[in-house]
Homo-oligomer: A and B are copies of this chain.
Amino acid sequence: QPQKNRQWRKFLSTVWEIKFSHDTKKVIHSIKVGIALVLVSLLYLIDPLFKQVGENAMWAIMTVVVVFEFYAGAMLSKGINRGIGTIVGGALGCLAAILADDCGKIGNAIIVAVSVFSFGTMATYFRMVPSIKKRYDYGVMIFILTFNLVVVSGLRADTVLMLARQRLSTIGMGFAVCIFINLLIFPMWASDELHDNTSSKFHKLASSIEGCLDEYFGKAEGDKENQHKVYLSGCKSVLHSKSTDESLANFSKWEPWHGKFGIMYPWGKYLEIGEILRELATIILALKGCINSSRQPSQSSRQSIRESCEIVGLSLAKMLRELGESILKMRKSRARVLMSPKLQSLKQDLNLHQKIKSLENEENIGVISFLFLFTEIVEK
């Protein structure tokens, strides 16, 4: 009985740990959304407030649900887009409605239909332009929505201006709640995520290189297949990180000054580093293919090049880790002066063995691209 109890408790603590290490952020985010929703529902629940805003409180709830994103930057970008889209759409809609009001009943309907069609078509086309799509897609959508609602109901409600003002103020309230909750309670910065990701990529690539070496010189034992998959997947995740990186960098641009990042922080540099790391990942994957090729020499003939390969590979891995570390801690890599000559001598080491195997050739390219990468980082 106590045994079972202990097992149960252990199970619970494991679950708790997993949740806490892996999912904490998600749980915190969920709770934040819950709090924001309750706060914004108070507009309905508290009588004096409801008398002020009326049914327009709906728009505050809608704003919170739609705008509250995981990353602070994503939320700010969506909220600002929504705000500007609403204002511009509302203003143009009012203009069109006033213009249409002067004509007769039929003329009015025709003007409204034409303006709905033309603005809708143009704005939709606008939405699909890549540079607009990347940053302002949501804003343009809200513009279309608001414009249509305003111009169409302008026919019905004479108080369209008042309506627009009220809606805007409730949207503002909703957004204020979002900002308050999202930025003040455990904010999740997209910039932190991008920063950590970039640093962890170096580590992933370093362990991939080590994994390749281990596999080639037959050091790995036990469940080789499994280990093999682990470092391969690390490499592949680096290779396919492009779209994640881009959206994170996009969000980061919207985030205000915080923590260790200043205003006008060079987010583009992270994308460049990512690009170079992806190239390195390509080379490592190809090296992987070489190793698995059926035409590799026997184990004994591999041993002859083992030493120099390991020196090169391990110091490459070590350097990568150091670079990752220095990016994480944002210090000018002190090792810079040490590394460049080291890389040169490594290259010469490899040159001696150059004619032996294609493996070397590969790794040397790794070194070269690594030099590129290095200059890039130092530049920052």
Contacts and interface: CB of A to CB of B under 8 A. Distances in A.
A202 to B, nearest CB: 20
A119 to B, nearest CB: 8
A128 interface: yes
Interface string A22-64: 0000110111011101100100110000100001011001100
Interface residues of A, number: 67
Given A45-B155, A61-B152, A117-B35, A364 B293 contact: yes
A260 B122 CA distance: 33
A161 interface: no
A116 interface: yes
A361 B358 CA distance: 8
Interface stretch (A206-214, A235-243, A262-270, A317-325): A235-243
Interface stretch (A3-11, A215-223, A279-287, A336-344): A279-287
A103 interface: no
A62 B146 CA distance: 9
A118 B65 contact: no
Contacts of A369: 289
Contacts of A155: 44-45
Interface in A149-182: 149, 152-153, 155-156
Contact of A128 (B29, B116, B358): B29
A26 to B, nearest CB: 5
B116 A38 contact: yes
Nearest to A34: B121
A320 to B, nearest CB: 18
Contacts of A368: 293-294
A65 B145 contact: yes
A258 interface: no
B41 A113 contact: yes
Contacts of A152: 41, 44-45, 57, 61
A373 interface: no
Given A240-B240, A295-B364, 8 more contacts: A30-B122, A31-B121, A38-B120, A61-B148, A66-B145, A70-B128, A286-B286, A286-B362
Interchain residue pairs A-B with the least CB separation, the first 8: A286-B286, A34-B121, A358-B358, A30-B125, A30-B124, A37-B120, A34-B117, A33-B124
